[in-house]
Amino acid sequence: MPVKKWSVQYAFAIPITFLMLAGIQYWKGRGLAYSVEFGILWSLASVALFAVIRVYYFRKGMHCTVCNDLPEETQPKQET
């Protein structure tokens, strides 16, 4: 499993998701404390759910083009 690669990706995803969610709540007129609490809770929950699904797909051997976790199957080139 590419744990190092995933750790770096999630280290960027959690704060970005937090800022987005907390900012939206604050922009909607909620208090700062509520916005921060909401951002922390839902950013951790959403990134954790994504990580669990990603590990599941990795263990099943399902290729993800966007994630690029598994090597692409090599097809022999056909000469014409």
What is the pLDDT, as a whole number, of residue 70?
56
Per-residue pLDDT tens over the stretch 25-69: 999 999 999 999 999 999 999 999 999 988 888 888 776 666 665
What is the pLDDT, as a whole number, of residue 33?
96
What is the pLDDT, as a whole number, of residue 62?
75
Alpha carbons 19 and 3: distance in angstroms, whole number: 24
Alpha carbons 27 and 24: distance in angstroms, whole number: 5
Distance of CA 2 to the CA centre of its chain: 14
Per-residue pLDDT tens over the stretch 68-78: 655 555 445 55
Alpha helix locations (H) across the chain? Answer: 3-27, 32-60
1 pLDDT exceeds 80? no
What is the pLDDT, as a whole number, of residue 23?
96
Largest CA distance in the chain: 67
Query: What is the identity of the amino acid at 56?
Result: Y
Asked whether the whole model's pTM tops 0.75, one would answer no
Alpha carbons 24 and 39: distance in angstroms, whole number: 9
